[in-house]
Structure 1
């Protein structure tokens, strides 16, 4: 005859208190590292977006033009320095001048090298200026052998009249600046020895960028 007793029944599995505490600690540490990773990824992503789109601190928006007046000074903020590093170019010191870029036209549409644009209006006072077209990599958009920029000495205009430059993939009469037909282009305007380097603001007058046609 089989006797019943405590040994006849399966005993419940008991977990030690120290093991449970270890599991909780592991979950806590894992959660902390996961939160830190998500925070770092989010921060880096927002910083990259700000630098890439010109929306960071220290970037001045004047119509379609973007300027970082302090980029060439010791007062340059981290965003301005990051933009300079991304471009891979040396910024102009305030004593030398000011560089401006444009990625969109006056209507806010992204500049497209397959379209035709007119850059017109009065240039700010400057001893010398250049206007060029570059691609996404900030290399000249036009192929070798074609004009890649205009200077204040080369552009055709009557004295004291606003400039009128046409940007297009195919030749145009007058001041034609080839775009190379790239899907995305940028304009770079450099003003040398200009008084607005230290006084530029959102009310500073700059040439308009107008889309004429798009194929």
Structure 2
């Protein structure tokens, strides 16, 4: 007598449980569809627009972050260097090249969830922008990323072994529209050395 309702209840519990787990996995796996990859940098031009896919909308709602409008700017993230090795705090990196045209760009490091790095000291340079970076005669720049002080352009990361992301935001850029993104060139990220090597 109780066998049929028990089987139905078990089947529903398994179905709902697997559905919820697969949805959580899908939201953690990607920001959405339509990613543009330029070297180690990845952007989602449609993630903040009305035309965003359901995964991008759900990801945006879950994170509760304010995104830039399509005409306001474009956010690129890098989880690896140019050789596809994960960015980790105990290694030194160099970012070289130029950025796409933009009125202003910013660069900072975050953890895998986009939060400020734990253990970062407020008296160290945890972010750079187009107005503060030193440039060469031809307009290119070189930025060192390390936990210890470096001469010139230096972005500080905490001492440790955790992985991190680099986030470059281009503000008021003509490349925010998806039509101009593919022809862009982003700066390269080169691993110099690691503390445990």
TM-score (norm 1): 0.78
Alpha-carbon distance in 2 for matches of 1:48, 1:26: 33
In structure 1, the residue matched to 2:122 is 144
The structure 2 residue matched to 1:64, chosen from 40, 48, 56, is 40
In structure 2, the residue matched to 1:43 is 22
In structure 2, the residue matched to 1:114 is 90
Structure with bigger gyration radius: 1
The 1:67–1:86 alpha-carbon spacing in structure 2 relative to 1, beyond 3 Å, is farther
RMSD of Structure 2 on Structure 1 (CA)? 2.3
The within-5 A match list for 1:55-204 is 56-85=32-61, 87-141=63-117, 142-182=120-160, 183-198=162-177, 199-204=179-184
SS in 1 for 2:74: strand
Q: Which runs of 5+ in 2 are unaligned?
A: none
CA contact (8 A) 2:108 2:126 kept: yes
SS in 1 for 2:191: strand
Alpha-carbon distance in 1 for matches of 2:132, 2:194: 27
The 1:42–1:138 alpha-carbon spacing in structure 2 relative to 1, beyond 3 Å, is closer
CA contact (8 A) 2:27 2:55 kept: no
In structure 1, the residue matched to 2:193 is 213
Asked which structure has the greater RCO (Cα within 8 Å, sep 6+), the reply is 2
Alpha-carbon distance in 2 for matches of 1:49, 1:137: 9
SS in 2 for 1:57: coil
Number of residues of Structure 1 aligned to a counterpart in Structure 2? 191
Alpha-carbon distance in 2 for matches of 1:127, 1:96: 10
TM-score (norm 2): 0.84
Q: Which runs of 5+ in 1 are unaligned?
A: 1-18
CA contact (8 A) 2:98 2:185 kept: yes
